[in-house]
Amino acid sequence: MSKRNEVYILLFKEAISKRIYELCEKNKITPNKLAELSAIAPSTLQDMLSLKVSNPSSYVIHQICKTLKISEKDFFDSDLFLEENIED
């Protein structure tokens, strides 16, 4: 795997984590409350937020979106996910 791909994967995980925090703040809930409402184990969400998960689960993202009543498109519709925000 190239260095750029490794950086992209790391930044993608960070972007997902930051996006979840943004959505929690916007909806005035804690990550633990989001996990509870989404029927996700709090430890699973915490591992995603702390970047311990190497490949964030699409199921978890789907459950979060469903709970927050947003589409997956809305979840990823953030400048956090723009390729130009990736640094070499």
Read off the CATH number of the domain in which 18 is found.
Answer: 1.10.260.40
Domain count, the chain: 1
Q: Is residue 63 part of a domain?
A: yes
Distance in angstroms (rounded) separating the CA atoms of residues 46 and 53: 9
pLDDT band at 88 (very low <50, low <70, confident <90, very high): very low
Residue 11 lies in a domain: yes
The model's pTM: 0.84
Q: Give tens-digit pLDDT for 21-68.
A: 999 999 999 999 999 999 999 999 999 999 998 788 999 999 999 999
Short-list 27, 37, 26, CA closest to 60: 37
Q: Which domain holds residue 20?
A: 3-79
Q: Is residue 87 part of a domain?
A: no
Of 55, 54, 77, nearest in space to 65 by CA = 77
